[in-house]
Structure 1
Amino acid sequence: MDSPSAARDDAARALLRRESRALRRQVGLPILLGLGGLLAAMAGAWLVARLLAGLLGHGEAGWASLAMAAGLALLGAGLTLAQERAQLAAGEAARARLRDAAFARLLEHAPADPTGIGERVSLVVDRIEALDGYFARWIPAAALAMVGPVLVCAALAWADPGSGAILAVAGLLYPVAMALTGIGAAQASRRQFEALGRLSGRFLDRMRGLPTLVLFNRQEAEAAALGKAAAALRQHTMKVLRVAFLSGTALELLSAGVLACLAWRHRSLLTDGGDPTAALFSLLLVPAFFAPLRGFAAAYQDRLHAAGAATALAPLLAGETGQGLLLAELPPRVTVTFTEVRLSYDPARPPALDGLSFRASAGETLVLAGASGAGKSSALRILMGFVRPEAGRVAINGQDAMALCPAELRRLSAYVGQHPHLFRATLRENIRLARPEATPAQVEAAARAAHVLDFAEALPQGLDTLVGEGGWGLSGGQAQRVALARAFLRDRPLVLLDEPTAHLDPGTEALVIDSLQRLCIGRTAIIASHSGARARLGRVLEIAGGRVAGAARAAEG
């Protein structure tokens, strides 16, 4: 049986191969440009060798050859510049493709993802950024390192077989040196990225809870803990850099040895006065021979970074996203039915839902009531496509809801949570998030229906007032009304509300309940609530232990 480490390595290699195939056109262009530049350098070296031999009295050193050599030098410089730009484009294409896929998968997992927000940010930013060099530099460098030295050896063997053999031996020794210096490098890089992820997650988590740390006088201890995590990251990073330095040293030693061998081979030219063209050509080709290998060595660290980053990304990107049926059109009304639905988050803990059954008819408001942990929010998570039940059936209009793509489930509904998140933007932009194509009149109508205008009109810029990150500057009740305005603007047949009146003062609660009642008119609404005002919202169904605890009660007048 494969070890977990081997399985992670296989998944990482599969991810890199899959993305390499998808980006073969973008990655192939730098390779072709690099080969063109290498051929231009080889031709230029031959012309320069002939020119130098002519200056020494062997052959002719004409202006035409000099002009051709200069033209090839300019061509090589242009191809090198074009190669660098193509590499940048390949890296940008890889980052865009991977970030789209990773972000879509994170949105699909959403609250069901157990990893911390810091680690998720690190995945989408740091890990994908580390993969840029793999596609922009490593793949072109690896291809050129395999093809380029062979072309140089073939050209030199045509001019001087002995010199070609010396270069061939050096080319065979270089992979051995790389293997010796690279033992354990992938593991070191993986540990480096694990340390980076832990540091990023801890830092972001502590920054978000900074007021709590200050109140409990824990800032010094947390600063020390962050320092230890940063020191661990430094140690792992230095181990990876050591590999890059060792591989570069091995390459320079080989290059110096080749020059020494070629100089020793052609030493007789100083005494017998023979034609030095082949000897000069062999010496001038040494930089061209080692240039692809030098690029390979420089990009080797990119490969190590990519191996560590891909190990972390592979579990997130494994499999296919968006599996399921798509809706041809949104139904105007929906009926929701749960039949013996079971759901567990952890096998060691009791199930969140243990045979829950209920029916919410089209246009009905159903309140799922019960203590915290009764299973109310879990039922809403299923309807939002964030989790899937282990057993039982969830039906919408009589059809299996779990056969739909999770994104289609979310397209059916409007959701208002207990702690709505407001982004750093204007009130208008925060409301329009529910339907970006909405007109200003529709946004204002939704704000009026949710009683947002009651407090927005007193602000200096009304709905165009800037709101701080997380809703800073607004009270909890005001933020809840903005969330309700989003639900009005979204205008979906299914409304899901999770504790919409929790932690509100009586006056604000009355406004929110008034808005909720208007929002639920003509729509199927399922509300998770333990508030005392729940009986005013609709039919109440008591839940305990993940199942129905008693008969449903009709709404009070």
Structure 2
Amino acid sequence: MSQPLPAEAARARALLSATARDGRRRMARPVLLGLASIACGLAQAWFMARLLTGLLGHGEAAWSDLAAAGALALLAIGLGVAQERAQADAGAAARAGLRRRAFARLLALGPSDTRPAGERATLVVDRIEALDGYFARWLPAAVLAALGPLLIALVVAFEDPLSGVILLAAGGLVPVGMAVTGIGAAMASRRQFDALQALSGRFLDRMRGLPQIVLFGRQESEAQALGAAAEELRGRTMKVLRVAFLSGLNLEVIAAAVLGCLAWRHGNLLVGGHPNPQAALFCLLMVPGFFAPLRAFSAAYHERMSAQGAAAALAPLLQDEAVPEAGLQLAEMPPSVVVTFEQVGLTYDPARGPALADLSFRVLPGEALVLAGPSGSGKSSVLRLLMGFNRPDQGRIALNGRDATSLKPSELRRLSAYVGQKAHLFRDTIRANIALARPEASEAEILAAARAARVTDFTDALPEGLDTLVGEGGYGLSGGQAQRVAMARAFLRNAPLVLLDEPTAHLDPGTEADVLESLRRLCAGRTAIIATHSPALRARFSRVLEMEGGRATPARLAGE
């Protein structure tokens, strides 16, 4: 995957063009400032030519010319600083907009996005960061590379037509040389990003599985594998830099050739035989100014190649963001929910067979249905369907007798409170982690939810109580305490449907018993569906649906 496919390249160009159009007003500022700086350079070169002509004995040198040249130089410096700031603002605004869109898209996809967490983090952070040069440097440089040299060549041609023609011809050669090096730059940049994404994903996954790696004595082999991936990234990064240097060398050769041609044409200036020495000096002085925008264009050219590689990976994530969420919206939250599955089937991958097949059951308000069975039997798939992360391929799911698939997926999630097998707590206070379920909840409601989940059993002994800060992932709390915080979220959400996925996994028997008591209170009066392997949890509730291979076993529903 070292080079984007045509379809990927087209999507990448479309993404970059659309983002550039959205920020064209902000991006026009550095272009206007750049043109103003070029105009200052023209005027400064004119006064310097007058001053040098007088010093060479072809006129009178005036202090006013020196003062004007100095003032214009200071103005050009100020304009250059303002241009840099405007370019940085344009790049930051473009990245912020793309990051908001990408993060919103990831939130909309939720668990249905099967990419590893490391790859998703690379998309939102590294890939978007790699687009900064495109919007901050490449786009302004591309416009200025077209307008700036043309403006300078026309002014030079007004003084000496042949010198203007020489400059225009040289300017036309620059894109040709850059196109040759650009092909290699695009391929090298794409390979570099592939290596970076592979290293990021591998590193994050290994960090998460560090205890297992140490347990099985695989530290050395994993360290070597990470070292090999890092070495591959280093090699590909150096290839990108080599291509960038070749592009700069191509421009310097053309600039040297132009300066030699103009020096040869105006060489008789030194022997006093030039008809217009001021114009000759002006033409020579404007050679660096002519190539300055092209040099900036060349320096930013690899930014465009890098951006195309990054955008090719980012575009698939954003291409469907404009599609509105299909379905109906709830007029009001129903006080209770009846869940009915009628011969429901679901297939993720045809090669692996169905995840669910002809599954039927019904759960009434106040009932709790336990889904039991080995891993891969389809228990979690039932919960994913009820949360709207997947749609059934066949059969019917009904909520209060109405087709659940007619609702927006987000509306399905409004109906439910979910507790997984491992609660994720964010780096914040315990109170804020509970309030995540309903940010508008009052302090009294948060406290009531904490008490219902028995969170206060351990927070009352803490100096800061519910305002105690916990680390990312719940650092500082035990597994049972973190699970109680997750149940407090469910209590605070107060939804009519409760979905539990292995809520007592990884807990010791004593902690599991405490959590089960909170689960019993959470499920009371609500429709509850619980996926579990726990014998203690199965014994606590009377209705158990045994599942295997995505189907209900012949034993059907225990307790019916």
Query: TM-score normalised by the shorter chain: which range applies?
Result: over 0.9
Gap change, CA 1:35 and 1:390, over 3 Å in 2? farther
Instruction: Name the SS of the counterpart of 1:502 in structure 2.
Output: coil
Map residues 184-195 of structure 1 onto 2, 5 A cutoff: 184-195=184-195
Partners of 2:189 and 2:305 within 8 A in 1: yes
> What residue number does 2:347 align with?
344
Q: What amino acid does structure 2 have at the position aligned with 1:52?
A: L
* Corresponding residue for residue 210 of structure 2: 210
Moved more, 105-114 or 298-307: 105-114
Q: Which of 368, 373, 377 is 2:380 aligned to?
A: 377
Distance, in Å, in 2 between the alignment partners of 1:501 and 1:223 is 34
- The equivalences for 1:4-43 within 5 A come to 5-43=5-43
Question: By how many angstroms is 1:309 displaced?
Answer: 1.0
CA distance in 2, matches of 1:230, 1:4: 23
Equivalent position of 1:168 in the other structure: 168
Q: How does 1:330-341 map to 2 (within 5 A)?
A: 330-341=333-344
SS at the partner of 1:323? coil
User: Cα distance, 1:132 vs. partner?
Assistant: 0.9
Q: Give the C-alpha shift of residue 133 in structure 1.
A: 0.9
Match of 1:106 in 2: 106
Partner deviation per Cα, 1:289-321 (whole Å, 9 max, x = no partner): 111111111111211211211121122222126
Most deviating of 321-330 and 266-275: 321-330
Q: After superposing the two structures, state which structure 1 stretch, 322-331 or 229-238, moved more.
A: 322-331
Distance in 2 between the 1:99 and 1:337 partners?
40
The answer for the alignment partner of 2:77 in structure 1 is 77
Q: CA deviation at 1:540?
A: 3.4
Q: For 2:203 and 2:309, how far apart are their aligned partners in 1?
A: 21
Change (3 A) 1:540 1:216: closer
1:259-305 superposed Cα distances (whole Å, 9 cap, x missing partner):
11111000122231533111111112112211111111111121121
What amino acid does structure 2 have at the position aligned with 1:230? A
CA RMSD, Structure 1 to Structure 2 (Å): 2.3
Q: Distance in 2 between matches of 1:282 and 1:295?
A: 21
Percentage identity across paired residues of the two chains: 65
2:353 is paired with a residue of what secondary structure? coil
How much has 1:439 moved relative to structure 2?
3.4
- Could you tell me how far apart the structure 1 residues matched to 2:9 and 2:155 are? 39
CA contact (8 A) 1:188 1:239 kept: yes
Whether the aligned pair in 2 keeps the contact of 1:58 and 1:275 (CA below 8 Å) is no
Q: Which residue of 1 aligns with 2:315?
A: 314
Q: How far apart, CA to CA, are the structure 2 residues paired with 1:330 and 1:89?
A: 44
Instruction: Tell me, yes or no, if the aligned pair for 2:4 and 2:309 is still in contact at 8 Å.
Output: no
Say whether the 8 Å CA contact 1:413–1:493 is kept in structure 2.
Answer: yes
Q: Which moved more, 1:58-67 or 1:97-106?
A: 58-67
Query: For 2:539 and 2:49, how far apart are their aligned partners in 1?
Result: 95
**How far off its partner does 1:379 sit?**
1.1
Query: Do the aligned partners of 2:4 and 2:190 also contact (CA within 8 Å) in 1?
Result: no
In the other structure, the counterpart of 2:480 is 477
Q: Distance in 1 between matches of 2:210 and 2:533?
A: 31
Which stretch of the first structure deviates more once superposed, 62-71 or 299-308?
Answer: 62-71
* AA in 1 matched with 2:74: L
Match of 1:401 among 386, 396, 404: 404
Task: Indicate the larger mover: 203-212 or 135-144.
Answer: 203-212
Distance in structure 2 (CA, Å) of the matches to 1:273 and 1:337 = 97
CA contact (8 A) 2:415 2:495 kept: yes
User: Structure 2 length as normaliser, TM-score?
Assistant: 0.92
Residues in 1 aligned to 2:526 and 2:43: alpha-carbon distance in whole angstroms: 76
**Quick one: which amino acid aligns to residue 326 of structure 2?**
G
- What is the distance in 1 between the residues matched to 2:111 and 2:258? 60
Task: Give how far 1:235 is off.
Answer: 1.3
Distance 1:52 1:405 in 2: 76
CA distance in 2, matches of 1:425, 1:90: 33
What CA distance in whole angstroms lies between the structure 1 residues aligned with 2:363 and 2:71? 79
| 2:370 alignment partner, one of 345, 367, 370 | 367
Structure 2 regions of 5+ residues with no counterpart?
none
My pick for the range that moved more, 76-85 or 269-278, is 269-278
Residues 266, 274 of structure 2: 8 Å contact kept: no
Q: Which moved more, 1:396-405 or 1:141-150?
A: 396-405
Aligned to 2:514: 511
**Within 5 Å, which residues of 2 pair with 1:146-161?**
146-161=146-161
- The number of residue pairs the alignment matches comes to 553
What is the deviation of 1:246? 0.4
1:425 and 2:428 matched: yes
SS in 2 for 1:330: coil
Does structure 2 conserve the Cα–Cα contact (< 8 Å) formed by 1:433 and 1:486?
A: yes
Asked whether the equivalents of residues 189 and 304 of structure 1 are also in contact (C-alpha less than 8 Å), the reply is yes
What whole-Å deviation, never above 9, does each CA across 1:366-387 have from its counterpart, x for those lacking one? 3333333221110111222222
Cα shift readout 1:395-438 (whole Å, capped 9, x = no counterpart): 33444433444333323321100122223333223222222333
How far, CA to CA, are the matches of 1:361 and 1:113 in structure 2?
Answer: 31
Select which of 494, 498, 503 maps to 1:495.
498
Q: Do the aligned residues in 2 keep the contact of 1:199 with 1:229 (CA within 8 Å)?
A: yes
Aligned to 1:374, what secondary structure does the other structure show? coil
State the distance in 1 between where 2:318 and 2:229 align: 27
C-alpha spacing 1:538/1:48, structure 2 compared with 1 (3 Å): farther
CA–CA distance in 1 between the matches of 2:378 and 2:156?
Answer: 76
- CA separation in 2, counterparts of 1:462 and 1:267? 85
Give the corresponding residue for 1:301: 302
Cα separation, partners in 2 of 1:33 and 1:364, compared to 1, 3 Å? farther
- Give the match for residue 415 of structure 1: 418
CA distance in 2, matches of 1:162, 1:273: 15
Distance 1:183 1:266 in 2: 38
2:222 is the counterpart of 1:222: yes
Q: CA separation of 1:330/1:293 partners in 2, compared to 1, >3 Å: closer, same or farther?
A: farther
User: Equivalent residue for 1:440?
Assistant: 443
Find the aligned partners of 1:149 and 1:395 in 2 and give their Cα distance: 68
Question: Structure 1 residues 59, 363: CA separation in 2 closer, same or farther (over 3 Å shift)?
Answer: farther
